[in-house]
Each structure stands twice: as C-alpha cells, then as structure tokens.
Amino acid sequence: MIRRDSFSAILATSGQMIEKTVETHNLSKLIIFLLHSKFKSFFLP
C-alpha cells in the first residue's frame, strides 16, 4: 500500500508537470498566432 505522503508527493509532481505542459501549450499557441499574423501582413498588401 502506498503511504499517504509519497502519494501526495506524486500528485504534486504530476500537477507541476501538467501546469508546465499547459504553459508551454499556451506559449506555443501564442507564438503560432503571432507568426501567422506576421505572415498574413507580410504576404497581403
């Protein structure tokens, strides 16, 4: 049986990983959006 403190430590670690993944996902979406608008303004007169 898993001890409660080790279980909560696992939960905290996975929570931090999920937060990091969400931050990275939002950042990549923002970068893609900026690149997309840049390309649009570059190609369209």
Q: What is the pLDDT of residues 1-45, one digit of tens each?
A: 667 888 889 889 999 999 999 999 999 999 999 988 887 777 665
Single out the residue of 32, 27, 26 nearest to residue 40, CA to CA: 32
Instruction: Please give the pLDDT value at position 29.
Output: 94
Instruction: Please give the pLDDT value at position 24.
Output: 93
pTM: 0.52
